[in-house]
Amino acid sequence: MSLKLGDTVPDFTQDSTIGRFGLYDWAGDSWVVLFSHPRDFTPVCTTELGAVAALKPEFERRGVKVVGLSVDAVDSHARWADDIARTQGTALNFPLIADHDRSVSETLDLIHPHASDTTTVRTVLVIDPAKKLRLTLTYPASTGRNFAEILRTIDSLQLTDRHKVATPANWQQGGDVIIVPSVDDDAARSLFPDGWAAPTPYLRVVKQPA
């Protein structure tokens, strides 16, 4: 299958470093970041797993659970985890799915034939508490993922779910936001009583709502 933004991410059960892993049971009512790796003992992915382990408190502060996936088996993951702790200074502190039969990779469309017929591409999926796919990013093998950008995107998704706003280019938490076009000026006056700046009628800039 090919998942699109807004699709329901299907449940699955697979082996992992914490035993049998069921996505829905494990996720509960949390947001989820699932990020895939082509195989164990790859250098860029080693740095990424260490980076996510170090950032885990930031994900938790946003109500987000993180889980990795690689197509190697659990015993291989355990050996890789030793390398991650030794070289990155942070032990693996979240599950790593052992997708040895590629069943999850195929379900989530993580194998791209033009990249490889057997190994996953390096994809990030952000899944909301309703199990809807809200973001997908796919990186080339040579480029490490920017997890600060993924946190920034989650901040935007959570903010714009609560308020009728969108976030502009390069937005950071606390910065000005944009009133969405579906809200007319009369409704906007009620929602944003302190007013807004409008360099054009369709670009209405307002302070970030609390």
Taking only the tens place, the pLDDT of each residue in 87-139 is 999 999 999 999 999 999 989 988 755 445 445 568 999 999 999 999 999 99
Q: β-pairing, 96-98 with 64-70? A: parallel
Angstrom distance (rounded) from CA 118 to CA 99: 11
Please compute the mean of the pLDDT values over residues 204-208 and round it to a whole number.
98
Angstrom distance (rounded) from CA 152 to CA 203: 22
Average pLDDT, the chain: 94
Cα distances (angstroms) measured from residue 11 to each of 26, 56, 65, 203: 10, 23, 16, 40
Q: Which residues are catalytic?
A: 45
Comparing CA positions, the residue from 111, 117, 140, 135 lying closest to residue 42 is 140
Determine the pLDDT at residue 113: 56
Please compute the mean of the pLDDT values over residues 141-149 and round it to a whole number.
93
Determine the pLDDT at residue 1: 53
pLDDT band of residue 202 (cuts 50, 70, 90) is very high
Spatial CB neighbours of 43, under 8 Å, sequence gap ≥ 6: none
Determine the distance from the C-alpha atom of residue 81 to the mean position of all C-alpha atoms in its chain, rounded to a whole number: 21
Residue 52's CB is within 10 A of a number of other CB atoms, namely 25
Place of tokens 């599950």: 95
Determine the pLDDT at residue 115: 46
The pTM score is 0.93
Determine the distance from the C-alpha atom of residue 33 to the mean position of all C-alpha atoms in its chain, rounded to a whole number: 4
Please compute the mean of the pLDDT values over residues 159-188 and round it to a whole number.
98
The percent of residues in the chain predicted with pLDDT above 90, rounded, is: 86
Q: For 42-54, how does the pLDDT look when each residue is reduced to its tens digit (9 = 90+)?
A: 999 999 999 999 9
Angstrom distance (rounded) from CA 58 to CA 45: 20
The CB-side HSE value for 166 (13 A sphere, CA atoms) comes to 10
Determine the pLDDT at residue 51: 98
Cα distances (angstroms) measured from residue 36 to each of 54, 83, 177, 179: 18, 18, 32, 35
User: Is 141's pLDDT higher than 90?
Assistant: no
Q: For 6-57, how does the pLDDT look when each residue is reduced to its tens digit (9 = 90+)?
A: 999 999 999 999 999 999 999 999 999 999 998 899 999 999 999 999 999 9
Residue type (1 letter), 176: D
Helix (H) or strand (E) holding 88: helix 74-88
Domains of the chain: 13-144 (3.40.30.10), 163-206 (3.30.1020.10)
pLDDT band of residue 2 (cuts 50, 70, 90) is confident
68-72, 110-114, 163-167: which range is least confident on average? 110-114
Angstrom distance (rounded) from CA 112 to CA 106: 9
Determine the pLDDT at residue 109: 84
Residue type (1 letter), 14: Q
